[in-house]
Amino acid sequence: MDDKESMELEMEVEEGFELDKAVCSSGMFMMSPSHWDPLSKSLTRPLRLHLDSSDSLLVRISQPNQSSLCLNVYATHSLSLSQIQSLQSQVRRMLRVSKAEEKRLREFHDIHEDSRLRGFGRLFRSPTLFEDMVKSILLCNCQWPRTLNMARALCELQLELNGGTVKADNKLFTPRTPAKKESKKNIRTCKTSINLLSKLEKENGKKCTNDFESKWSKRHLSSSKQDNLHNAIRSSQTLNVSSNAGSPLLSALQSSEEILPQCGVRNFPSPRELAYLDESFLAKSCNLGYRAGRILKPAQSVLEGRISLSQLEEDSDGTSIANYSKLAEHLREIDGFGPFRCAIVLTCMGFYHVIPTDSQTIRHLKQIHSKTSAIKIVQEDVKEIYGKYATFQFLAYWGKANCKHVTVLWKKRKPKENQLRYSSILLGQHQNDCDNKVPFSNNRKQIIGARQC
């Protein structure tokens, strides 16, 4: 990437902070639009200039020294104070950089020596709570490669909604994990992933916008929300990253088979960008299946004011049992958010005293602790083992369950091979029959199966 078209920001971190440990701690770092480069140890993804806007810029995060992070913001020479604060706030959320997080990390390391030695204790998350909520929906009842593909498709859709073009040869946000072939009856061919303005390219000005709104509303918006289309599109305009095809930044990106489209960057869609879409169109465009409806409901609720993301974040500041119960109650009111999915979102919000339990938890008990469990008693079993870690039970469980072989595999295998192995370990995407499983340390082929939530 060409630094001539970028602005550099510095962000202080506490001594002992390690960017690679903070990022590679949760499988979410592998989901679009995040891109982790293990060679340069840098994280690249689009971030919004304001959380309520779709204006995004590509940001590369690296750690040049122990006391600070370097944020390279591309395609701009200047930012307002509020924009800088917004970008830094999103980075702090992703990497859990705050005095409160540092205090909790030290408390956890005091009671869990192994995690202290490995530098484990920060769980990577998204820059926004809404993105965490949607990605928790993408995690369940499917194979890990499909989870990656659905996240990528949502990012491509976000770009198209804002008038951008997705190139087939883009590799920056393309999952390297090979997808297992699914049966034909389950395959939904996506024919709608095209430039939404391709038929209007020769037109310009107000007429183009009006035609786009008209055709878009007729084809892809639910009839009850067409009245809101005009404002939705007006509020969802993406910042033009580069109007000059000869831009050094654009040339550099294209030469390395990476993409930074002239019309914008591919970010994860916001509630406003999703709320007005038709459910069937969203399902087919991103191969989401039943998940489309479960993604639209919270997006619409946020836009209509029935869910306040800022209030939920504020309520999570004090990670007490009382706050957990209050937040869990609010989340369960959302259609499709059962106990497990709520628990996953709450761990992203910093609540570690409850371990989300599913088939992978049963598998973990069998493989690591040689303990046979069942879905009805698994919560009691994990409490018996990890209860001694009190408010940090999930961190102790997560580190044990998913990081045992990561360091060895990452060092011994090539990056592309690591992505498959690392992601499967990290998110527990193994076959359902735990009795026939062989640990990844053995030299036998593993098949990644669906996680049962």
Domain match, 284 and 196 both: yes
Q: What is the per-residue pLDDT for 336?
A: 87
Residues of the chain with pLDDT under 50: 168-219, 223-263, 404-414, 417-449
Domain match, 265 and 154 both: yes
Q: What is the per-residue pLDDT for 317?
A: 80
Query: Could you give the 3-state DSSP secondary structure of residue 289?
Result: coil
Q: Domain ends where: 303, 338, 372?
A: 303
Q: Shortest CA distance to 149 belongs to which of 140, 141, 138? A: 138
How far is Cα 360 from Cα 287, in angstroms, rounded to an integer?
24
Burial class from Cβ neighbours inside 10 Å (0-12, 13-18, 19+) for residue 266 reads: buried
Q: Examine residue 345 and state whether it is found in any structural domain, yes or no.
A: no
Domain match, 147 and 167 both: yes
Domain match, 279 and 374 both: no
How far is Cα 107 from Cα 102, in angstroms, rounded to an integer?
9
Number of domains within the chain: 3
Q: Domain ends where: 54, 87, 118?
A: 118
Helices within 221-320 (DSSP H only): 229-235, 248-255, 271-275, 279-286, 291-303, 309-315
- The pLDDT tens digits of the residues spanning 222-281 come to 544 444 444 443 443 333 333 333 333 333 333 333 434 334 589 999 999 999 999 999
Domain match, 152 and 248 both: yes
Domain match, 56 and 168 both: no
Domain match, 111 and 144 both: no
Q: Examine residue 403 and state whether it is found in any structural domain, yes or no.
A: yes
Say which residue the tokens 């992933």 belong to: 193
Q: Residues for the chain: how many in total?
A: 453
Domain match, 231 and 359 both: no
Query: Could you give the 3-state DSSP secondary structure of residue 316?
Result: coil
Q: Examine residue 442 and state whether it is found in any structural domain, yes or no.
A: no
Domain match, 42 and 100 both: yes
Domain match, 134 and 184 both: yes
Say which residue the tokens 């944020």 belong to: 71
Domain match, 138 and 269 both: yes
Q: Examine residue 93 and state whether it is found in any structural domain, yes or no.
A: yes
Q: What is the per-residue pLDDT for 437?
A: 32
| Residues 202-231 as b or e (16 or more Cβ within 10 Å = b) | eeeeeeebeebbeebbeebbbeebbeebee
Query: Could you give the 3-state DSSP secondary structure of residue 44?
Result: strand
Do 387 and 380 form a contact (C-beta atoms < 8 A)?
no
Q: Shortest CA distance to 453 belongs to which of 135, 140, 143, 139? A: 140
Domain match, 277 and 151 both: yes
Q: Examine residue 107 and state whether it is found in any structural domain, yes or no.
A: yes
Q: Examine residue 331 and state whether it is found in any structural domain, yes or no.
A: no
Tokens of 357: 């339990």
Q: Examine residue 309 and state whether it is found in any structural domain, yes or no.
A: no
Q: Examine residue 417 and state whether it is found in any structural domain, yes or no.
A: yes
Q: Domain ends where: 58, 84, 118?
A: 118
Q: Give the Cβ contact number of residue 388 at 10 Å.
A: 12
How far is Cα 29 from Cα 22, in angstroms, rounded to an integer?
10
Residue numbers of the domain that contains 419: 352-436
Q: What CATH code is carried by the domain that includes residue 8?
A: 3.30.310.20
Q: What is the per-residue pLDDT for 452?
A: 58
